Structure 1
Amino acid sequence: MIVKPWVLLLIMLIYRVVMLLPVLGGLKNKAFFGRTVTEQCWVQPPLKYCAKRCTKLLECLSLNHTCCWTFCGNICLDNR
């Protein structure tokens, strides 16, 4: 059985689209879809602050805290 080259190309294209769909599902929360990007923290916090993590929406649950990124990930720091 001889398979024409365009049939193989079609199969490869379908395979790539099917494999790419689950990956694209996680892009809805990324910064280039309208969300702001977290900025680097203005100070280098001690390790004890690494436990105060930001939410998945890059917000802080405590009042007067800002979400910023540092060596241990996105953390909430006091604005004062």
Structure 2
Amino acid sequence: MGTNRWKKYKIEMLPIKEPTEIEELSLENLVDQILNAKKLDPNADTTALEREIDQMVYQLYELTPEEIKIIEG
């Protein structure tokens, strides 16, 4: 069995986008809603909220419909 080694220069090449303050607050709000729902009912269906987060991330990274299909496929 091998192990993955993450070299610093390779990690630095990853495209990490910084959300605006408004985007960050919106994401935090959605995450808080999911956490609260799960705290009240661990079986709560948070799929819609999770999809909203996905859409926000797709917008943040300016993904095309084709790229989104690959991710969701």
Task: Verify same fold: TM over 0.5.
Answer: no
Higher helix share: 2
Larger Rg: 1
> Greater relative contact order: 1 or 2 (C-alpha under 8 angstroms, separation 6 or more)?
2
Give the alignment's TM-score, normalised by structure 1: 0.28
Give the alignment's TM-score, normalised by structure 2: 0.29
